[in-house]
Amino acid sequence: MLTATIENALNRNLAASLRARDLCGALRGRRLQIVVTGLSIRVGITSLGDSLQLTREPSGEFDVEVAGSPVNLLALAGAQPQRLLQSGAVRVQGDAELLERYRELAVALGPDLEEELAGLIGDLPAHHLARLALGVARFGRRVARTTVQNTAEYLAHESRDLVPRAEAEAFFDAVDRLREDVDRTGARLAALEALAGAPR
């Protein structure tokens, strides 16, 4: 029933957008599977040319599959999807170009993601996830990190779904240190390669 509700909402938005209708027509017959990690949810999306069909726990073959957390899947519709793909936060199997066209369609549809999420996971978690996705999409890494930490604090202390903030901060700090170490190692390797290639 929830899948049908979301499908109806998407198709209402589709009817109101010429760009979305053009993209949907170009995707006729192509299938996308979305796997929401951590929630054990799989949703299939198929373009019928003039509308979209959503299927919960779909079967059969898909042209492309995308998997990630709810937050990262929402952020995929933001301005820097390649960062999520390159980092492995969102995993793709199949036709990556087709995923990009479906992403363009999602942006053109412009659904109220918070409202759609609320029907799936409740109002308050949906609000926090939508706020996080907005932060990731608009404000870049520093603001996104702050938003992640705030959301982690809520989920850790209110709903008990995540680790406490202190542990999350330690993880982020460790990731930053690792990134810096990798950058320094890369610079040293480049210097050694240049030295080894220099004429003697």
Q: What is the pLDDT along the chain (200 residues), one digit of tens a residue?
A: 567 877 887 888 888 889 999 999 999 999 999 998 888 789 999 999 999 999 988 889 999 999 988 878 877 777 777 887 888 888 999 998 999 999 889 888 865 555 555 655 566 665 666 666 555 445 444 544 555 566 656 665 655 555 565 666 777 777 788 878 887 887 787 777 777 766 65
DSSP states along 38-80: TTTEEEEEEE-SSSEEEEES--S--SEEEEE-HHHHHHTTSS-
Which structural domains are found in the chain, ordered by start?
Answer: 1-111 (3.30.1050.10), 113-200 (no CATH)
Residue 31: enclosing H or E segment and its boundaries? strand 31-36
What is the model's pTM? 0.54
